[in-house]
Amino acid sequence: SKLSPTDEVGILYYAYGIVAGGNNGHIWHVPLQEIGDDKNRATILSALGSMQPGDMPQFDPSMKMAFDSLTEEKRGISTKHVILISDGADTTSKVPFSEALVAAHQSNAVIYSISNAASGFFPSRRFGDRDTATLRKFSEETGGSVFFVNDRDGFERVFGKIAQELRSQYSL
């Protein structure tokens, strides 16, 4: 309810076993589009609510897809924000982190990272500082923030904080 009908939103995620468009499982769950009317908003929220947490082995393909879409000239998007939800562990990327960071800078997107590395999501795994350091670096280098959630309920709180931060940046 915090976004206007002309704001654009898209949701990328990693789906195991899907090799779509050469992106090795990285697909648009909701293609980048205007929020639009109440019916379209409800469809987007329903798609968001149907997502299941999983473990994406690399996030550079999704980040590239996001940056490419956000910088399409036909969109004319001047203010770009990416919310990256990840445990921060990128175990199979073929693109060095430094290149992904350069792409983020070139897109002029502000990245807000939400770490779901807490045991509430993946109880069998242990995470170290290395994992959250990647998320922190993406966010700090692009002017965003990093947040940590312990369970699904934490997302509502974090999305509220991000919305508040964005509103405060653009109030006159």
Record the pTM.
0.79
Tokens of 104: 């983020």
Percent with pLDDT over 90 in the chain: 9
Q: Are 146 and 139 in contact (CB under 8 A)?
A: yes
Q: What are the residues whose beta carbons fall under 8 Å from the beta carbon of 3, sequence distance 6 or more?
A: 9, 35
Tokens of 163: 């919305």
Q: Report pLDDT digits (tens) over 52-110.
A: 766 677 777 888 888 888 888 888 888 888 888 887 777 777 777 778 888 888 888 89
Q: What are the residues whose beta carbons fall under 8 Å from the beta carbon of 164, sequence distance 6 or more?
A: none
List Cα–Cα distances, 124 to 15, 34, 87, 121, in angstroms: 20, 38, 13, 9
Tokens of 9: 């939103």
Place of tokens 């924000």: 81
Tokens of 56: 């994406």
Terminal CA-CA length for the chain: 21
Q: Report pLDDT digits (tens) over 7-58.
A: 888 888 777 666 555 566 777 888 888 888 999 989 988 888 787 766 677 7
